[in-house]
Chain A
Amino acid sequence: MLKGLGVGAAASLAGCGGLGGGNGDGEQALMWEYGFPNTEGAEPVWRNKFESMYEELAGEEIQISRYSYEDLRQKFLTGASTGDPDAIEGTLSHLSEYIAAEHVEPLDDLADSIDHLDGYVDSTVEAMTYQDTLYALPYEGNARALFVRQDILDELGQDVPESAEAFHEIGRMINDEYDDVTAFHNCTKDGSVRAFQEWMTHIYQHTDQLYVPDGDGWQLNIEADALGQVFDNWYYQIYAADNPVGDPDDLGTGWQTNDPGYINGNYAFIESGTWMRNWTSGENIQSTDAAKDILDNKTLIAHPAHADGASRGTFLEVKPVMVNTHSDQIEKGKTAVEAYTHPETLGEGMAQDPEGSGKAMTPVHDDVESTIENENWQPLTDIFTTGRALAKATWGPVREEFYTYMQEVSYGETDPYDAGEQFHEALQDLESEI
């Protein structure tokens, strides 16, 4: 009950405004973030660089509060109208929701006033723009890629599969030949944001955008058959078919199984991102040496395989930094955005932070050098250019529909093409809601 009522009350508090905004002109700016890595005792180089950059630009210090992305989103959606925080970091789907809720300040004037705007990768700035208005600046990007166990393919004398058909064939070959390795894993947990991103990766192989603007609303931009193909290739064949490419006993798992599973050598293929680069220790990693060997010597990065009639394309995550439009200190918020996305912060801070260097592998700005040193990881740069950012729709209802149909197909309850038809209808019904 309290959850439900708390939601309502929190939203009403957010909606009633007039509760006073921010910290007042004389106070430090407040920023909410989840981007800085948890350095666990080591010097937080990136965070320090951001703080010093902000101090240089604003002439005072900044307060930083850290939340998980889920908390960040909920707290901002329900409490932004109180004026706190002044600036916020997040994900692209957050940006869409904040724009719809009118919680973020347009930043066109900031963009005009800063020197480094021209250096951003065009697609990343486009991802921050809605109806010709810039609502955020990007600081980090990564595209979903296929992580391949090159050593296994070499042993089997196979090339990296480009088509879904070849992918299934090689996958089944791996399952036949290896007892301790499963060919592929993807996320199928209800509510898993990662599962949604993996699905979008394959949607972008069939269409530039799932929804395209149509007047003030959205229009679905994919055929039912393509949805069926995605369900067939990436869920039915993986878990529900007679000779599945994945392990049906992994059904219902999320990223907690996916990423560490690959690093621990349990899977030959997964779809993942740059954050994998330095993940060689921690509670989920069985052996640091083995993890380093897999990531440094046995991994090849490639474009995710695609179906017949589809083409290269993948989910592009670009992380935005935004200003709360209800803040009393909007200028300080803008300064925080400028400092956070400044090439010096990204180049010297993010790239040099030993825990954060994965984030700097595919930089969003020309003045920031990529930290990719391993030849096998070089394709990430090329894959990044094929990435497509989420349209500025509000994706929550789409995600909820997806989880239902994805699980029905994965568990073999519904034929993938029937699910594609039904899902297509459901997505059409959402055109006016998102």
Chain B
Amino acid sequence: MATQTESQYSRYKEEFSSFLTDTWIGYAFVIPATVLLAVVIGYPTLRGLYLAFFEVSLLNPEQMEFVGLQHFRALAADPIFKAALWHTVLLTALAVSFQYLLGLGLALALKEKVPGAGIFRSLSMVTWVMPIIVMVIIFRFMVQNGFGPVNIILDSLGMRTTYWFGEPGVAFPLIVVMHVWRNVPFYAISLLAAMNSIPKEQYEAARLDGAGPLERFRYVTLPQISYVSMIMIVLHVTFTFKNFDIVYLSTGGGPLGNTEVLATYVYKQAFEQYALGYGASIGVVMLILMLTFTIVYVKLEEVD
């Protein structure tokens, strides 16, 4: 009896010791990354949240005055902020929708092994890896008044030419086009990879059940690319929502504030008006909106 108890105790001890060892090894692996993330992501985030409740100048960041929710009240009455928020939401919705739909269409076309698909796959990432400044220079050149290729074509068709980034009403759609141009191939490649992982037998079975191309897409393809779709959409919604470079380099937020987005407004508040606290409060609004979107979207995807 004593031997049995001793043996049980020994087994528990071994298991506990093994658990502890394994766990601590796990912790040991995780801790460096956690500390790094805390420093690189956690600290700036918390600091930004903190600053949003203070009046603080970029030129004298040591002098901080607690103002509570004053910045958020000011944001509610700030017409430029409201316009920038609307532009940001509209830009994100349009850019991500077009990117997804065009990327999906392209992926379906590539899946059917259209001629040139191999070359496209090789070249497709060029737009995505291209530095944003290079992309903006190319687009600026393309719509340059007089000698830009777009204007040369329009002129040959007897249509109006101008510097289109300087045209109210056209500058904003052009920003959308730049986002779409940059990201569609990445969507296509990612969705194509997800489609290629679907077993062919499922399509065969659907065909035997009398499913046409649309049904096969709706009931076989779409459900099985939804996870990749979710990742792509969440990533690009956040990327587009906080994107600064594309707008700032191409229009600076103009003309007449037509392309002002939250990211450019944060920059102007922090680095031109020196209003760090107010800029941080805009950042907090962006954080809340993005977190809400991500949580809701991921939950909906799980339910689905």
Q: Which chain A residues have a beta carbon within 8 Å of chain B's beta carbons? A: 1-12, 14-15, 73-74, 77-78, 97, 100-102, 188-192, 247-253, 256-257, 266, 394, 396-397, 399-400, 403-404, 407-408, 411, 413
Interface of A is mostly: helix
A73 neighbours in B (Cβ, 8 Å): 271
B162 touches A249 (CB 8 A): yes
B255 touches A256 (CB 8 A): no
B283 touches A1 (CB 8 A): yes
Q: With A253-B163, A403-B254 in contact, is A8–B48 under 8 Å at CB?
A: yes
What would be 25 A-B contacts, judged by CB atoms less than 8 Å apart? Answer: A1-B48, A4-B48, A5-B283, A5-B287, A7-B276, A8-B48, A8-B51, A11-B56, A73-B271, A77-B58, A100-B60, A101-B60, A189-B166, A190-B253, A190-B257, A249-B162, A251-B167, A256-B140, A257-B163, A396-B271, A396-B274, A397-B272, A397-B273, A400-B273, A411-B256
Instruction: Check B242 for interface membership: any CB of A closer than 8 A.
Output: yes
B contact residues, total (Cβ < 8 Å): 54
A253 neighbours in B (Cβ, 8 Å): 145, 163, 166
The one of B58, B168, B263 that contacts A411, using a Cβ cutoff of 8 Å: B168
Instruction: Check B244 for interface membership: any CB of A closer than 8 A.
Output: yes
CB-CB nearest in chain B for A286? B147
B254 touches A7 (CB 8 A): no
CB-CB nearest in chain B for A396? B272
Q: How far is the CB of A413 from chain B (nearest CB, A)?
A: 7
Instruction: Check B62 for interface membership: any CB of A closer than 8 A.
Output: yes
A250 neighbours in B (Cβ, 8 Å): 145, 163, 166
A189 touches B252 (CB 8 A): yes
Interface-lining segment among B39-47, B103-111, B219-227: B39-47
A77 neighbours in B (Cβ, 8 Å): 58-59, 271
Q: Give per-residue flags for B257-274: 1 if the beta carbon is below 8 A from chain A beta carbons, else 0.
A: 100000100111011111
In chain B, residues 83-141, which have Cβ atoms closer than 8 Å to a Cβ of chain A?
140
Please provide the 9 A-B residue pairs with the shortest distance between their CB atoms, ordered closest to farther. Answer: A252-B166, A4-B283, A190-B254, A5-B48, A191-B252, A15-B61, A9-B44, A190-B252, A249-B162
B145 touches A1 (CB 8 A): no
Q: How far is the CB of A265 from chain B (nearest CB, A)?
A: 11
Q: How far is the CB of B278 from chain A (nearest CB, A)?
A: 10
CA distance in complex: A97, B271 (Å) = 11
Instruction: Check B280 for interface membership: any CB of A closer than 8 A.
Output: yes
CA distance in complex: A261, B257 (Å) = 26
B255 touches A4 (CB 8 A): no
A400 neighbours in B (Cβ, 8 Å): 268, 272-273
A11 touches B276 (CB 8 A): yes
B44 touches A8 (CB 8 A): yes
B58 touches A11 (CB 8 A): yes
Known A188-B166, A190-B252; further 6 A-B contacts with Cβ < 8 A? A9-B43, A189-B252, A249-B145, A394-B274, A408-B256, A413-B256
A1 touches B287 (CB 8 A): yes
Q: With A8-B279, A12-B51, A411-B255 in contact, is A3–B263 under 8 Å at CB?
A: yes
Instruction: Check B183 for interface membership: any CB of A closer than 8 A.
Output: no
Q: How far is the CB of A280 from chain B (nearest CB, A)?
A: 18
CB-CB nearest in chain B for A189? B252
Q: With A8-B283, A189-B251, A403-B254 in contact, is A2–B242 under 8 Å at CB?
A: yes
CA distance in complex: A247, B163 (Å) = 10
CB-CB nearest in chain B for A399? B272
